[in-house]
Amino acid sequence: MTFKSATQPFCRTCGKPIRKYTRRVWIEKEEKHRAPASSFSRYVVGVARTREDCARLSSMQVVSVTRAHDKEFILSFNEWDGESYADEFFCTSSCAAVMGYAACEKYNLSMPAWRNRK
The reported pLDDT for the residue numbered 8 is: 97
Q: Is residue 77 part of a domain?
A: yes
**This prediction's pTM:** 0.79
Q: Is residue 83 part of a domain?
A: yes
Q: Is residue 87 part of a domain?
A: yes
Q: Which domain holds residue 40?
A: 3-91
Q: Which of 30-34, 41-45, 87-91, 95-99 has the lowest mean pLDDT?
A: 30-34
Q: Is residue 84 part of a domain?
A: yes
Domain count of the chain? 1
Q: Is residue 33 part of a domain?
A: yes
Q: Is residue 86 part of a domain?
A: yes
Instruction: State how far the Cα of 76 lies from the Cα of 67, in Å rounded to an integer.
Output: 7
User: What's the pLDDT band for 64 if we cut at 50, 70, 90?
Assistant: very high
Q: Is residue 68 part of a domain?
A: yes
Q: Is residue 109 part of a domain?
A: no
DSSP string covering 59-98, please?
Answer: SSEEEEEEE-TTSSSEEEEEEE-SSEES-SS-SSHHHHHH
